[in-house]
Amino acid sequence: MHRYSIPFLGALVALSGASVAALPAPAAQTDSGRLAVFGAASLTEVLPKLDTRPRYSFAGSDQLAAQILLGARADVFAAASPKYPELLYKQGHCGKPVAFATNALTVVVPHSNPAGIHSMTDLTRSGVKVVIADRRVPVGAYTRQVLQKLGIEEAVLRNVVSEETDVKAVVAKVALGEADAGFVYATDARPVQAKVLRVAIPARAQPLVVYEVGVVKDARHPLAARRFIAKLLSPRGQALLVRYGFGRKP
């Protein structure tokens, strides 16, 4: 199990806004002999296409960082933001992370679009049901950046009916018609394009969405972890990411 310091735990809690009791429990500590890859939920479809052999765990980047901190066995940590990999690196719990992809935000609405959402300002109308990710999750933090840049944060947040733990949960709520609109990554709108419509976010409000990956300290398979990251950065890996809607590494 990883050793961690109280100051580090405090730093993670301060960044995420979570209480110690609320941090998720570590994943099971069994070692199947396979590379263990912790990946942001938005990477669920693409990483297994890159390599089918690892044991994958997908969730919000904040949850994965907390699990690593609490001793979950992981060899690779791939996050949807530099924040958590950089924090783990600074505290000695992860090798120096590298950027491997970019993404963009979009708004999705049910295909029938019952609330008539066609622009960002439509999200401010009274009665519109908006779903977003929790601010601790990268997509939730990026969402708030968009709203701030557009000057509509307060009005839209009044219409938020739920804050989800990862981007997949946001997509699911909209696709099932449980919300009128949701903020997600462009890549996550693709698998449900038959069930949702996309509403573009103005380019001036788009955040810089950068994914970073690193080898977890005390990884049981460090060589395999480095090879996996090399695959992500390779021309084949970059082409695969583009095929799934991501941007190439910055």
Q: What is the pLDDT of residues 39-57, one digit of tens each?
A: 999 999 999 999 999 999 9
Does pLDDT of 7 surpass 50?
Answer: no
Q: Give 1 or 196, the one with higher predicted confidence.
A: 196
SS3 content of the chain, % helix, strand, coil (to 5): 40, 20, 40
Say whether pLDDT at 25 is over 50. no
Give pTM, 2 decimals. 0.86
CA atoms of 233 and 175, how far apart (whole Å): 32
Between 59 and 15, name the one with better pLDDT.
59
- Cβ contact 130:194 at 8 Å: no
Domains of the chain: residue spans and CATH = 6-102+210-248 (3.40.190.10), 105-205 (3.40.190.10)
